[in-house]
Structure 1
Amino acid sequence: MNDRPSWVPSDVDVQVPSAARVYDYLLGGAHNFAIDRAVGEKVLQVMRNGTQIAGSNRAFMRRAVLHMLELGITQFLDLGSGIPTVGNVHEVAQGANPDAKVAYVDYDEVAVAHSELLLDDNENAVVVNADLTQPNVVLSDPTVHALLDFDKPIGLLMVAVFHFVPDEKQPLEILAAYRDALPAGSMLALSHLTADHAPEGMAGVVEAMKNSRDPMYFRPYDEVVSMFTGFELLEPGVVSAPAWHPERADETEGPRDVYVGVGRKE
C-alpha cells in the first residue's frame, strides 16, 4: 500500500523513518508515516514512558523560551526544529512578545514543508532547509541573516538534536562554531537524551532507531555538561528536564531521561 498523503513532498521516501516524524508521533502529531509509527511503537515497547519523555522535553523547550524572553532575548535560532506541532517556538515566543523573531533550521523535508505552510503569513519567522551539523552553511544562510541580527543577543535552541550527532562528527566543535558566531549575552538551551538512568530501555531505543535516517547516540551527564563550554550555566545547571524551572512542584517527578540546561555567553 502506498502510504503517501497529498502533503508529502514527492522526493521523500515514505519507507525510511525519520526522527522528526517519530517524535511527532510520540507527541501525538499527525504528520508521520506508517514506518514512523511502527518505529515509535518499538520505542514505546522498550520505553513505556516514551510519550512522557517526549512531552517533558517539549515542556522544557517552552519554559526555556519563556525564560529567555524574560531575560531580554527577542530572537531565536532553532536548530533541528522538527515538524511544527502545537506549541512550537514561534507560537510560544510570539505569544509572549509578538515582535519575537524565530529562524527554524531542519534537514527533514516534511518538517521544512510544513513549517513553510505554517509560517506563510508570519513575517517574523522563517524556515531554512539545512543540516545543523554544517554550521558554516547555517550561519551564512541569507534567510537567517535577513531575519536575525547577529549584533544582538540570540537564543540558540538545540533541543533534542545532539543525540542524533555521532562522536565522529565532532559535536563539541559544531557547538563551538555556533557559540563563536553569537554575540555576548546570547543564550543556549540544550536538551539531550541519556542512558544513565535506564540503560536497558535506552539500548532498545537505539536498536529501534538504528535503521532510520537518524540513528541515536546517548551521552552521560558529564558529556552533556561539556556541551555548555563557553557558556555560563544558569541555575539550576544541567538537570533532568522536569527539574528545570518547573511551573508546579509535582512536575519535578517526571522522567529523568533527558538532561537539559540553559547557558549565557559572556
Structure 2
Amino acid sequence: MARRSSSKGRYHHGELRTALLEAAIELIAERGLQGLSLRECARRIGVSHAAPYRHFADKRALLLAIARQGFTIFVEMGRAAMAAVADEDDPQARLDAYGVSYVRFAVDHPVHFRVMFSAELDEPSTIEALDDAVRCEQGAGDEAGAGAGAGASALADGDAGAFALLVEATQAVLGEDVDEAAGLVAALAAWSLPHGLAMLILDGRIPAEQVSTPGQVEALARTVIEQWRGPLARSGDGPPRRRKRSRSSR
C-alpha cells in the first residue's frame, strides 16, 4: 500500500491557502523547486485541481507567497536577535546578532530560504526584493492576481524590508559620517558573509556533525562573523588599500 502524504487530511474549511502553502513547502523539501505544482499540492490536501486557483494564479504566485512568508519570519528573527543584545550601545554586537540569526533562519527554514533567493521568481534584483520584502504577512490577500508578470513589488506589503534592516544596522556601526554609497557596500559585505555560510551549510559543504544542533550552528556563525567581519569593523580601519607603485618598479 502506498504511503499517504503527511499533508493529506490537513485541510480544514476556510484554511485552504494555509494548507496549500504547507503542502508546497513539504513538496519542495522532497522534490526541489522543479517538483512543485499546484496540481500536486491540491492532490496532497485532498481538494480539486481547480481549488488552488482561488488563491494562486500560478506556480510563481505560490512561490511569491512562500517568499513573503519567509521574509516575514526572517525579519522577525533578525529584530528579535538584535533586541536581545544586552548592550544596546554596541551596534557591532547587534549587527553580529543579525548575522547569526540570518544563518539560523536559513537552517531552520531551508525551503523558505531557497525560495526567497530563487531564480524561479525571476526578480530583476534580489536587493530590490529584499528592500521590498514585507515586515509582516498579516492581512496578506490572495495571490490569485499575482501571476507570472508580477515583479519584486509583489513581495511588498509593509514599509520596511530585510535589506533596509541590514542597512540600518550597518549604518549604526559605521556612524553618521559615512556616505550612502559606502554604507551600501558595507551592508552588502555584511549580507554576503552569513549568506555564504548559510549556503555552505544547506549544500552540505560543512560536515554535518559540526552543524547538527542549533547551538552548533549559532556558535559556528558567531565565530565566522566575529573573525572575518567584527575585528575589521571594530578597528575603525577600512579595507586594505592598494599601495601605489613606485616609479622604479614600473
TM-score of the alignment, normalized to the shorter chain, above 0.5: no
Q: Would you tell me which structure has more helix in proportion to its own residues? A: 2
Q: Would you tell me which structure has more strand in proportion to its own residues? A: 1
TM-score (norm. length: structure 1) = 0.25
Pick the structure with greater CA Rg: 2
